[in-house]
Every structure is written in structure tokens, then in C-alpha cells.
Amino acid sequence: MRRPVARKLAVLAVSATVVSVGAAAPPSGATSAGPAVEKVPVAVGYGGAVASVDADASAVGIEILRKGGNAVDAAVATAAALGVTEPYSNGIGGGGYFVYYDAKSRTVQTIDGRETAPLTADSGLFLENGQPIAFADAVTSGLGVGTPGTPATWQAALDSWGSKGLGTLLKPAERLARDGFTVDDTFRAQTASNEARFRYFPDTAELFLPGGALPVVGSTFKNPDLARTYAELGRKGVGALYRGKLAKEIVDTVNEPPVDPASGYNARPGELSLRDLAAYRAKRQSPSKTSYRGLGVYSMAPSSSGGTTVGEALNILERTDLSKASDVQFLHRYIEASRIAFADRGRWVGDPAFEDVPTKELLSQSYADSRGCLIKDDAVLTSPVAPGDPRNPAACNTNGVAAPTTYEGENTTHLTVADKWGNVVSYTLTIEQTGGSGITVPGRGFLLNNELTDFSFAPASPAVHDPNLPGPGKRPRSSMSPTIVLDAHNKPVVALGSPGGASIITTVLQTLTSFLDRGVPLVDAIAAPRASQRNQTTTELEPALWTSELRTKLESIGHGFRLNPEIGAATGVQRLPNGKWLAAAETVRRGGGSAMVVRPAS
């Protein structure tokens, strides 16, 4: 059932304006070494908007917008600042996906800045004696480190759509790293969860365990090494990371992890080379696209599975009037659509440079209809569900071999930006696991990713081709789902995204359907308790759903659940009438996010 949503979105715009008059950034230069910037989860106003997990980073983005920068400029500056204040989630040692809406042409374009495997890698990258190594051993090693894509992504975005130079945009983050930021509970907790493995590496311990102890909440955390690295990239360009002295330092660190001999830890060496770094390119590519309730939903096409999996699930839900469904019916349908879409993701999606990915077919309504007929209102599908064949769809087919969903690190970050001209950026970036590989490049102030652990270590099912095995220069499959939704006139309605590993897909899907179908204001749709089903035997629930009557009612028709304390940490922006923007972030997750606008509405 296709239902127009324009009237509902107009109502949401009015109600959102009433929610908050918004928050602006402090004056330029006040983002470091001074009072902590206030965190608020929703802001409404003019001149542009920024939403991220961190107030200092959002303030940097607003600073760039105030100085005449556009959304791309602000996104790069915000990302660089997050590399300072959220170093366990992202940074120049990682990668990500950049989705951009150009107001002049009313088109969406994307950059794939995913990390790549070494050119010497093959399908046995994580095998020893024919068997997969322990996941924990791969996570904290040089073996899991891919060629970073974030710096190349920044330069590609600026070359294509930016208005300011990289050096100018790195200055606020450089200042923040040099002068410091205020340690909060989340930063201390994330450090504590990594303390044991950080101590394996003296350079990491020296940086993140100052004086040999956990950072104290309320203290000022400084990273002068990162400030110098940013200054160097600002002077020389990002090519300095892919060629020359810094490139050699990265390669040496990966191939001979600087582990403390006294720790006894076996930090497996990687296989990265100067050739790998020099050959890296961020890829400009077309977005994934699907139509939903008369709107255009744009996201990342493979190598990310985000766009195809969110899109397929939306197409499955298209035939249900979710606005009239009860809470139980809504959650049931959402969970089952997620289950089916993940079944197809596991079979068909990988790096399209290596795999024949049927992107168009996965996003077709006819294929979604052939899969959606599996959903019953009074019964639950048994996971793992077998994939369908999008090139030869058969209605309600349950034949085939299912592939389980592999684990992905959950501590990514997402930022969303809009400017006064109407341009929008939705950008998700990561170093994979919380703390990445745990390995800091000596004297450089940043952690290296462990992104290659997103590959399947061995075929997920011996009976079916696995599109996500390692290969030379291959990008591991991702779930990152930076998304921009356009109306019938190709103008932005909403943009959003989230961290959370494979649960990114379900977070974006649940937030979108809550906002578009259920009429929930954006900040409330982001804050709502989440469920995440990824073709597994049980569905994850956050505590508020775990203790609710909804859980009991869903269990009565066959659902099984397990508790997850926190799923995702989304941010978004919504276009309102007359040049106004609403920025929204988390209210509680990860200590709450930060929404800001250039000029708050009165």
C-alpha cells in the first residue's frame, strides 16, 4: 500500500519546531580548553545544522558553516574533530562512507572510502593450519588492519564539492587536539573496556592511559601528536599519509606491531605495504536508491550492504500500512522484514569489484514482494532464513542454504550536516571495533583500524559461495547506512545514519519507519527503544522493550529475544519550511548526542 507522506511530514515539521528552539555553537575558538560545550539532542534554526555524538565536534562543524563553508566543508571538519574526541570510534586510521545531496542539481552522490585488504591477501588471510584464528586474536593485531580510507575520502569530497581547503578545515580539530577536551563518562568507560589490550602497546598506553591510569572524568585530555599529524596533513595534503614518511610509519607499525615484550602478547603481524597505500583510491559511485511511500531513499551501494538491505526491507514493508498498525504489528513486521533482508545480504552482497552483486534486483519491488509473502501475522520465521534469488524470484521460496550473519564491530560514529544553501551530508566513519586494533602509530596520535575482521574468516556456509571472503585489495562488506530521503521534487526530507555494526541497518530502518510511517518526531524516533533482528535465532531488544508488555505479546506469536543494553547512536537532520533545519541526536545513548544550528529559531 503506497501512502503519500507529505501531509504527515508537514505536521512533523510543525511539532518539531515546538519541541525546541535549538542550540548554536559557542563563539569560534571556544570549543577547546574552556568550559564544556553543552549537549542538547535537538536544535531548530537557520543557516545550517550539524548533529554528531559529540558537542565539541558539532561546534567545529557550526564554526565552519558560520565562516561561509558548505555542508561538505563542515562534514570534513566535524569528522576531523571526532577523530580527536571519539578516537576509539573513528579517525584517519579508518574508513567510511560519504553520502552527499547537491541542492543545485538536486542529486545524491556518494564516496566509498572503505578500507582495503593488502594486495597480497587471499581467502586464507585469517587461516592458520587451515583453521580460522580466534576472532580476538585477529582484532588486536596487524593482520586485521586495512589500508585507511578516511583521509582520501575527505580529499575526494572536497575536490568534488567543497569550498575550502583541507588545511583550513583541519585547523579547529588541530586546536582541539592540542588544547584538549573534557573527559566524560563515555570516554573513560570506553578506555576502561580497552585497558588490558591498550597496555600491550606502549605507545597506545602512553597516549590513552596518561600516567599509567585511566583518564579522570572532568580532566582535560590532550593529544599533541595528533595535532602535529593534522598540521602535517594540512600543509602537505592527504598524500602524506599514502606516500612518504607517514606511510612508511603506518606500514612498519602494521607489519611489526610495537608490542610490549613483557606483556607476552602475540600481536600477529600484518601484510600491508607502501604499494597498498599508494594504490588506495576513494571511489565516487552512484547511490543505492529505492522508492518508499512516494519518497526517494538514497544510501550506500556495495561495498556497503546498508543501502541494499535497508532498501529491500523498506520495499517489503511498502505493502503494509504501518501508520495504522498496532505497536505489536509494527514491530513484528519490521523484525520479519529485517530477518529476510539480512538473509539476502549474507548471500549476495560483497565488494562489487570482486563479486557479481545484483544490486538492482535486490532493490526491485517485485523481488521484495516475492520475499514479503513469507511474513505471516500470526507466526514467526525460523532463522536463519534461506536467501532468495533476486535474478529469478520465486514467491515465498524457502529453499536454499542460509548463511549466518557474521559479527561486525559496533563502535563507529555518524554525523549529519546541512547548510544554508540546502546541501546535505550523511557520513558514517569508523575504525571498526571500539579502539580499533588497539595499535597506535608511534608519535602520530591515532589508532589503526581492524576493519579486515569484517571479512568472513572462512565461508559462512560450505555449500554456498560467500561473497565476503578476503581478497587482494578487496573491501570488506559493511553495514554502514548513511541515508538521505528526498521528496517528489527531489528536495531533502530527512538524512540520518548510525553506528552499531550490523545493527546499523536495523537502527536506520526502525528510525525511518517510525518517522515516515508512524509520525514520530525525528528526535523521538532516534530515542525510541530499539529491536534488531539480523537473521539470527533471537532478536536483540534494548531494556525498555525487554521489560515491556510488547515483548510478551511478541513472544506469544513465536518471537525469541535477547537483551542488548544499547543499540546504535543515530543522528539526523530534517528540512523544515522557509530555510529552517532541525538537527537531532541521541538523548541518552553514548552519553547523549549533540545537535546544533547556526542561528536558533526564536
Output the nine-digit C-alpha cell for 185. Answer: 563518562
Q: What 3-state DSSP class applies to 258?
A: coil
What are the angstrom distances between the C-alpha of 56 and each of 170, 211, 447? 14, 25, 20
Q: What are the DSSP E strand ranges found in 145-203?
A: 181-182
Helix residue ranges per DSSP H, 264-358: 274-279, 306-317, 327-348
**CA–CA separation, 178 and 442 (whole Å):** 17
Using DSSP's 3-state secondary structure scheme, residue 404 falls into coil
Parallel, antiparallel, or unpaired: how do β-strands 539-541 and 561-563 relate?
A: parallel
Which cell numbers hold the place of 79?
569528522
- Measured distance CA(288)–CA(301) in Å, rounded: 5
- Enter the C-alpha cell of residue 290: 529505492
The answer to whether 538 and 561 are in contact (CB under 8 A) is yes
Catalytic residue, chosen from 186, 253, 405, 412, is 412
Using alpha carbons, select from 97, 75, 79 the residue that is nearest to residue 300: 97
3-state secondary structure at position 128: strand
Tally Cβ neighbours within 10 Å of residue 530: 25
Is 440 one of the catalytic residues?
no
- Whether the CB-CB separation of 313 and 290 falls below 8 Å is answered with no
* Residue 522, CB-side half-sphere exposure with 13 Å CA sphere: 32
- 50 alpha carbon, distance to own chain's centre: 16
Burial 231-253 (b: 16+ CB within 10 A, else e): bbbbebebbbbbeeebbeebbeb
- The residues near 153 (Cβ < 8 Å, ≥ 6 apart) are 95, 96, 98, 111, 113, 282, 429
List the grid coordinates of 92: 584517519
- So which residues are the catalytic ones? 412
